[in-house]
Amino acid sequence: MSDRTLDAVIVGAGFAGLCMLHRLRGLGFTARVFEAGSGVGGTWFWNRYPGARCDVESLEYSYQFDDALQQEWEWTERYASQPEILRYLNHVADRYDLRRDITLRTRVASAIFDETSDRWQVRTDDGAEVEARFVVMATGCLSSTNTPSIPGRETFTGAMLHTGNWPHEPVAFAGKRVAVIGTGSSGIQAIPLIAAQASHLYVFQRTANFSVPAQNRPLAAAEQLAVKRDYAALRTRGGQMPFGFDTRSTEVSALQVSDAERRAEYEARWAEGGLPFLGSFADMILDARANATAADFIREKIRGLVRDPATAEKLMPRGVVGCKRLCSDTDYFETFNRANVTLVDIAETPIQAITATGVRTASAEYAVDCIVFATGFDAMTGALTRVDIRGKGGRALRDKWAEGPRTYLGLSSAGFPNFFIITGPGSPSVLSNMVPSIEQHANWIAACLDWMRARGLSRIEAAPDAEDAWVAHVNEVADATLYPSCNSWYLGANIPGKPRVFMPYLGFPAYVQKCDEVVAGGYEGFVVG
């Protein structure tokens, strides 16, 4: 191996890149992380909008690779805010001395596989090149922002912001007229806080979303201590749940209990707060009739929370609870009771243009000083296809994936040897608590490299038939659920022209078991040499 050849290039320094670097270094591999941002943290570096916080409890939305780390870190809230999670990730970078192998402000532009040497030539946007035996894409499922190309956008004279690329200095909304476009998780978190400052807030809603109260609160010391006394128990419990965190999921069908029992369950989950609402009944996301009981319950809550019946009606989601990611909020629906907040239903009166001074819909023009795009991401594939990745025969990954992503286990794609993706399409990723999913992938990849080194192997690649079978299985699992029934970003439906393919894999425990079986079978489904 030449001196300038690294064992691995890791792209991205969020939860995934940091963990991967730590794992590889621990096994004596050389690795370098390239990160486009000027700091580590990924999602939590970029998404600095007011109200940004996790929707999986902090005690679970955190690394478990080192018990000392999970014992010593003190979370202050049930759902940590963005600044706190960013502090945590910076602490991790320092504690494990990761920064010396991280190059910031550097975007990977291309990665080309050289079949004669079994090496990747990685080029960064500053023109530098580095050679590596392996490439690990830790580029994130939700890191490639989507700003719709609304006519006239470039003519707007006020400030334009995207929640996923928020300025580092505080944004002052006081005395300003603000438009927020988008009511997904980001919009729903930001809207109450922007409304509290702005002179007037216009919320442009295309599709009403289901949201449950987060019931966020400070974490009591005793509560945190109780978890830390037996952290492993919480981690094990979470790992056994379909979404990889403790949703207190039951085996009971919503259709097998009485109306009173069902209501009591929903009320209890509503009061408890957050995404465990989805664990109320086993068939919530499998059976339309079961799901409708939850949808009715949430609509009734909205009716009770929003004083103006016409506004309440517009805020009521019509689809399937959880089909688009369930949102978790603090005072979202209540915000529409404020005199300085107007809901604009753009399903009824679509946005026609952005003008120099505001937003024009089919029925009115709204003069604003600032537009906030809470319009989401080119999810799961965007960050991967924006890099020119070429495998065997010079084939581009973006060409191979033109009809939708194809992977084996979400970790690897046939024709791209020694190339791994952390939480790639076809893995539980965004349908799970992502930190354990990230760690599971980083552990799997590190163990794989170690296994290859022990056997003097230089190449590993997904076998095409194993990949075909896995893609079919991912679809089969999704098709047995209600997930394909709505226009979600899980399906790529939020990006015009993106192929409609369900990308994540549902079922964290079954997935982990499959990955373990593949290893036990001598990396079954992979071609090694």
Q: Which residues bind ligand NAP (CB under 6 A)?
A: 54-55, 142, 148, 163, 181-187, 189, 206-207, 325, 328, 346, 374-377, 430, 489, 494
| CA nearest to 348, candidates 225, 208, 459 | 208
Q: From the CB of residue 319, how many other CB atoms can be counted at a distance below 10 Å?
A: 18
Percent helix / strand / coil, the chain, rounded to 5: 35, 20, 45
Class of residue 340 by CB neighbours under 10 A (exposed 0-12, middle 13-18, buried 19+): middle
Sole binder of ligand FAD in the list 6, 21, 31, 34 (CB under 6 A): 34
Using the contact rule CB under 6 A, the part of the chain among 50-58, 111-119, 329-337, 468-476 near ligand FAD is 50-58
Residue closer to ligand NAP by CB (options 149, 258) is: 149
Q: From the CB of residue 110, how many other CB atoms can be counted at a distance below 10 Å?
A: 16
Residue partners of 27: CB distance under 8 A and separation at least 6: 446, 449, 450
Q: Is residue 345 a contact point for ligand FAD (CB under 6 A)?
A: no
The item of ligand FAD, ligand NAP, none sharing an interface with residue 438, based on CB under 5 to 8 Å by kind, is ligand FAD
Residue 191 corresponds to which tokens in the numbers above?
């809207």
Residue closer to ligand NAP by CB (options 207, 249) is: 207
The item of ligand NAP, ligand FAD, none sharing an interface with residue 494, based on CB under 5 to 8 Å by kind, is ligand NAP
Give the CB-side neighbour count of residue 456, counting CA atoms within 13 A.
0
The item of ligand FAD, ligand NAP, none sharing an interface with residue 107, based on CB under 5 to 8 Å by kind, is ligand FAD
Q: Is residue 42 a contact point for ligand FAD (CB under 6 A)?
A: yes
| CA nearest to 376, candidates 494, 502, 225, 203 | 494
Can you tell me the distance from the alpha carbon of 386 to that of 405, in angstroms, rounded to the nearest whole number?
13
CB of 367 to ligand NAP, least distance (A): 19
Sole binder of ligand FAD in the list 81, 280, 433, 481 (CB under 6 A): 433
The item of ligand NAP, ligand FAD, none sharing an interface with residue 42, based on CB under 5 to 8 Å by kind, is ligand FAD
CB of 105 to ligand FAD, least distance (A): 9
Is there a contact between 323 and 286 (Cβ–Cβ < 8 Å)?
no
| CA nearest to 61, candidates 130, 14, 113 | 14
DSSP run (H or E) holding 95: helix 82-95
The item of ligand FAD, ligand NAP, none sharing an interface with residue 187, based on CB under 5 to 8 Å by kind, is ligand NAP
Residue 135-174 contact track with ligand FAD, rule CB under 6 A, x = bound: ---xxxxxx-------------------------------
Contact positions vs ligand FAD (CB under 6 A)? 11-17, 34-37, 42-43, 45, 47, 52, 54-56, 61, 107-108, 138-143, 186, 383, 387, 422-423, 433-434, 438
